Amino acid sequence: MIHKAGFVNIIGKPNVGKSTLMNTLVGEKLSIITSKAQTTRHRIMGMVNGDDFQIVFSDTPGIIQPNYKMQESMMHFVTSSFADADIILFITDIYEKEHPKELIEKLNKVDISTFVVINKIDQTEEDQVKKLQDEWSSLLPKAKVLPISALKKTNTEDLLKRITTLLPESPAYYPKDQLTDKPERFFVSEIIREKILLLYKQEIPYSVEIVVHEFKDSKDIVRIKADILVNRKSQKPIIIGKSGSKIKELGIASRKDCEKFLEKQVHLELYVRVKEGWRENENLLDKLGY
């Protein structure tokens, strides 16, 4: 039996639905999905396995113009996704007005199988979708253009089948029962960060980082201690809230999702630590995996 395996790297601007698509294809909530931009900060891999194939999907941060060191590191994840890709999924959506010229030039030059995936087609008319298909076909003539709705799962099975046919012959890169390359504590930190994105406004979500410094897994319960790093002293009381009300709300929401993800009772303790200017601190960014 011929076995196929390959790396399928997902790129595109923020908020076009990259994480939603990856989660739909992999069938698990691996990447944060919120309505806020720049929610994915790292490359997150998710595997889809069959008897004779393995697809290693890689979700990358949304393409932006970096404003500080952390965002520069995030864009390195995007650049590196070209180096090891067997197939590239370039995700756009029906609302995207300005096309990323540099990226289009790069995609036209590389000798990698590419799909232009037009997402959110459930939110527009058929003639508009056809117009966008023609537009992208002229911009990226070598690419295959496919309209989908990641949320409604329209054409996502078709996309999966097409990807499978293009995979190179190869043994599996990861054990077949492995779902992702990241450890459980990484997803715990992502769950907490997602709740911060949902509960706090303005710059707060983009100024915090979560560090899980204790993860004790026993038979009936997982005990977790995590630090919420903030960028400025003034942000600490905002995270805590009046009489600790806000951090309590954050803790309850995070614990519920952690229990769902780990399928076990969770005891979660959160601490707020001030690390002024952490987003510009190269040593610290290195330690945090950027």
**Residue whose C-alpha is closest to residue 288's, from 232, 213, 203, 191:** 213
To the nearest whole number, what is the mean pLDDT of the chain?
85
Q: Which of 16, 3, 30 is nearest to 178 (CA)?
A: 30
pLDDT over threshold 90, residue 277: no
CATH superfamily of 184-287: K homology (KH) domain (3.30.300.20)
Least trusted range by pLDDT, from 56-60, 151-155, 243-247: 56-60
Which residues belong to CATH 3.40.50.300 in the chain?
Answer: 4-166
How remote is the C-alpha of 193 from its chain's centroid? 12
What pLDDT does 177 receive?
86
How many degrees, rounded to 5, is the angle at CA 134 between CA 131 and CA 139? 125
Q: Kindly tell me if the per-residue pLDDT of 257 is higher than 80.
A: yes
pLDDT of residue 64: 45
Give, for 266, the enclosing helix (H) or strand (E).
strand 265-274
Q: In what order do the strands lie in the sheet with 53-59?
A: 44-50, 53-59, 4-12, 87-93, 113-119, 144-147
Question: In which residue ranges of the chain is CATH 3.30.300.20 found?
Answer: 184-287
Q: Taking each helix axis as running N to C, give the angle between helix 156-166 and helix 18-26, from 0 to 180 degrees, rounded to the nearest 10.
A: 80
- Beta strand 144-147 pairing with 113-119: parallel
pLDDT of residue 135: 95
Lowest mean pLDDT among 64-78, 108-122, 205-219, 221-235: 64-78
Cβ(78)–Cβ(28) below 8 Å: no
Q: Say if domain 4-166 classifies as CATH 3.40.50.300.
A: yes
Distance (Å, whole) CA 21 – CA 118: 11
pTM for this predicted structure: 0.73
How does DSSP classify residue 180? Answer: B
Residue 116, pLDDT score: 96
Question: Which segment of 62-66, 152-156, 251-255 scores lowest on mean pLDDT?
Answer: 62-66
Distance in angstroms (rounded) separating the CA atoms of residues 190 and 27: 17
pLDDT-based confidence at residue 81 (cuts at 50, 70, 90): low
